[in-house]
Amino acid sequence: MKKNTLLAPTQTGLCSLLAPVENVAHGIVSRAVLTTPALRLTLFHFAAGQELSEHTSTARALVQVLSGTCQFTVGPTVHTLKPGDLLHLPPGAPHALSAPEAFSMLLTQVTEPAV
């Protein structure tokens, strides 16, 4: 049986976020790391030249850069992110991404309880 995520939500686990990725030469590869009803971690690998058009999310998001650099646009502001940077996006923030070089990031999305 194939696992849907790299880590099981009910067990202690370990995975490498820096392991090499195949088939990313001309696109974007994503892999679910951990998924629960309130938390979602996704590993993304972008080939040079890839982009994500502007969009929003209802979840709170944290973008952690693992390798390479990208141009991350939040509203009218463009941020150049590099390894070690952490970007916070509140729910509903319009954002887009451009990868001028090969780039990897960990996206953490938190769905907050309804008030």
Within a domain: 62: yes
Within a domain: 52: yes
Within a domain: 93: yes
What's the domain count of the chain? 1
Within a domain: 14: no
Does the predicted TM-score (pTM) go above 0.85? Answer: yes
Instruction: Write out the chain in H/E/C secondary structure.
Output: CCCCCCCCCCCCCCCCCCCCCCCCCCCEEEEEEEECCCEEEEEEEECCCCEEEEECCCCEEEEEEEECCEEEEECCEEEEECCCCEEEECCCCCEEEECCCCEEEEEEEECCCCC
Supply the CATH number for residue 56's domain. 2.60.120.10
Instruction: Check whether 12 has a pLDDT greater than 90.
Output: yes
| Rounded mean pLDDT, 53-58 | 96
Within a domain: 32: no
Within a domain: 36: no
Residue 89's domain comprises 41-110
- Higher per-residue confidence, 42 vs 112: 42
